[in-house]
Amino acid sequence: MASAELDPVGAACRSAALSAAVDAGLLRVPETIEDKPMALFYDLDAWERNLANIRALFGSHWLHACAAKTNPLFWFLRREKALGHGAECASIAEVVAALENGFAPENVVFDSPSKTIPEIRYALEKGVHLNMDNLQELDRVVDLLPGLQLGEQQVLGLRLNPLVGAGSIAAFSVSTGKSKFGVPLYPDPKYQAELVQRVTKASFLNCIHVHTGSGGMGLKQLVSGVRAAVDFAKAVNEAAGHQQVRIIDIGGGLSTNFEDDTLTPSFSEYADALRQEVPEIFDASQFERVISEFGASCHIKFGWLASRIEYIKECDGGRIALIHAGSEIFLRSSYCPDTFMKHRVLPFDATGRPKAATDLIPHDIAGPLCFAGDVVVRDAMLPPMDQGDIVMLMDAGGNTLSLHTTHCSRQMPSVFGYRQLPDASFTFETLKGPQLIKDTIGVWRP
């Protein structure tokens, strides 16, 4: 077996895992209307190795809060907690889920640009780390504080927009003058001095937060965003005359590569660049806690989806393979096919054995929803595929199931985790059972 370093995402055993899954009856041809021959699979050892690597690279005063929005399955929340991670939550429901799954409140980070007053109160009563998105939210916190008893561990952060510019994906670029997130850090010295004064006056505020952007942001931009946040925190501390800002939250944002099985850019490249440009965050005497909020880079490359092909159609220039997952799971790939999340496809026969890569022709891998754009991958070069054959869509471990939509009332798939044993066989664990039709249509009831 290839070493973890050479094979960080477990590519060497991926095909064998699919064959074993078929042998174990996990992609059975349907017998009832509840059955769908489609499931999401995670290489749990590779996923855990990746998290261990993150923990080892940065420092013992860092808390790596995995972004729940990328993969909110409770199995992963519990395992992240057990391994010493926190949870970054984009909604109050994610906060409730994190607390329910045993995270200590100070390890739950609540980020949302549109928090209601009851949500803010709930988070503060529970002792959850709250990152305020804007100065109006700061005013709300000021108003709420007299009625609350904050614990000593309470973290209250302010999100800055470091204005380092857009990355290659407009929808994920949150560091422009048009961004809806954070308090913009305009370069005007007068403006910055006023902002420093405002923050110094809010003496309970002890954290500065940035999330410079997601997929498509280069390392340089991410590092510049963190540099700007640390400079601002230092200016606050100087103005306050003591270490008011003790915590820095650098957000997530490390891009995912969809071209091959490498983790590019790597966490070690990011850690090195940060060590070089923002050494303060590696020194616990300057900032006692540093938080990261990685999402995509924690999950995407460690999961794949397998579906049987229900029907094959000949079309101009190739074939269309109709499968059981479409834009309801692969939302980003279907709606923005030219921009991001281009899933690689591997072909298997009906018994789950790899099909030889000969006589390749273009296949559109199309979903089951009722609109023309419901195509997950266009022109995948595959050997001629038939009804009942199986396709594997790689790099599907994050921002897929968590974006599931109710369009056409499609059921969510089952999710399985696997580990390869020393004798090369596999064990499978159910991480989420199938969604029944009654639960799928339940959301439409009055």
Tell me: does residue 85 bind ligand PLP (CB under 6 A): no
CA angle, 299 then 111 then 203, to 5°: 135
# of chain residues touching ligand PLP (CB under 6 A): 16
Closest C-alpha to 361, from 375, 379, 387, 348: 379
Tell me: does residue 214 bind ligand PLP (CB under 6 A): yes
Member of 88, 137, 328, 395 binding ligand PLP (CB under 6 A): 88
DSSP state of 355: P
Identity of the residue, 144 or 403, whose beta carbon is nearer to ligand PLP in the bound complex:
403
Member of 296, 329, 346, 391 binding ligand PLP (CB under 6 A): 296
Tell me: does residue 157 bind ligand PLP (CB under 6 A): no
Site for ligand PLP in 44-73 (CB under 6 A): 67, 70
Give the whole-angstrom CA distance, residue 225 versus residue 184. 12
Member of 10, 105, 216, 295 binding ligand PLP (CB under 6 A): 295
Member of 127, 253, 368, 397 binding ligand PLP (CB under 6 A): 253
Identity of the residue, 200 or 214, whose beta carbon is nearer to ligand PLP in the bound complex:
214
Binding range to ligand PLP, per CB under 6 A, among 23-31, 224-232, 252-260, 274-282: 252-260
Give the whole-angstrom CA distance, residue 404 versus residue 411. 9
Give the whole-angstrom CA distance, residue 15 versus residue 363. 20
Identity of the residue, 86 or 251, whose beta carbon is nearer to ligand PLP in the bound complex:
251
Tell me: does residue 110 bind ligand PLP (CB under 6 A): no
Closest C-alpha to 341, from 88, 169, 89, 166: 169
244's CB contacts (< 8 A; 6+ apart) are: 199, 200, 203, 205, 206, 236, 237
427's CB contacts (< 8 A; 6+ apart) are: 418, 419, 421
Identity of the residue, 67 or 305, whose beta carbon is nearer to ligand PLP in the bound complex:
67
Site for ligand PLP in 363-392 (CB under 6 A): none
Identity of the residue, 70 or 327, whose beta carbon is nearer to ligand PLP in the bound complex:
70
- Torsion sign, CA atoms 390, 396, 402, 405: negative
127's CB contacts (< 8 A; 6+ apart) are: 105, 106, 150, 151, 153, 154
Member of 297, 307, 411, 420 binding ligand PLP (CB under 6 A): 297
Member of 294, 330, 348, 416 binding ligand PLP (CB under 6 A): 294
DSSP state of 153: T
Q: Which residues bind ligand PLP (CB under 6 A)?
A: 67, 70, 88, 111, 211, 214-215, 251-254, 293-297
